[in-house]
Amino acid sequence: MPRRQTNSEATILYTAVVRGKVALPCDISPPSADDSVVLILWYKGEDPAPIYTLDARRGTVEQARQSASAHLENRAYFNMINRPAFLQLDPVQEEDAGEYRCRVDFRKARTVNTVITLKVIGKFLYLHAISTKLENAP
């Protein structure tokens, strides 16, 4: 069953190059000072299983248990130091293209989702496009 986009979702478009890296943003800021993040789940496409999980239900975000799916293992890292926080994929693979959803659950506030569409292009295509632009420049 397709998910319905709600008011608590923002949609962002990103483009990455094969074998490069990309940072997919996710705002994990609690809406109020007396609230905190308890769970961050990253999904890809319509797959009901998360591809990346950060579970702080038994402590703080800094102590949270993190795990990545087998597909992302050793290629994914969730950076919470920067704001917005982001899931970094390095190196990017062609099959990484698609729709990603970052779901953030707070202790008190309602769940917030960020939806990102990732387009992945091959290096040859990317370099060819730049070369063509340079050749056709006035």
- Between 137 and 78, name the one with better pLDDT: 78
Distances (CA, A) of 95 to 2, 44, 45, 81: 21, 11, 12, 28
**39: in domain:** yes
The CATH code of the domain that includes 92 is 2.60.40.10
- Between 131 and 76, name the one with better pLDDT: 76
Would the pLDDT of 6 be above 70?
A: no
Would the pLDDT of 74 be above 70?
A: yes
**54: in domain:** yes
Closest CA to 72 of 85, 88, 55, 54: 88
**35: in domain:** yes
**2: in domain:** no
**59: in domain:** yes
Could you list the residue range(s) of the whole structural domain that residue 68 is in?
12-136
Angle at alpha carbon of residue 13, lines to 12 and 18, rounded to 5°? 135
Domain count, the chain: 1
**4: in domain:** no
Would the pLDDT of 133 be above 70?
A: no
**5: in domain:** no
What confidence score (pLDDT) does residue 3 get?
44
Mean pLDDT of 108-122: 95
- Between 11 and 111, name the one with better pLDDT: 111
How far is the C-alpha of 72 from the C-alpha of 37, rounded, in Å?
A: 23
**6: in domain:** no
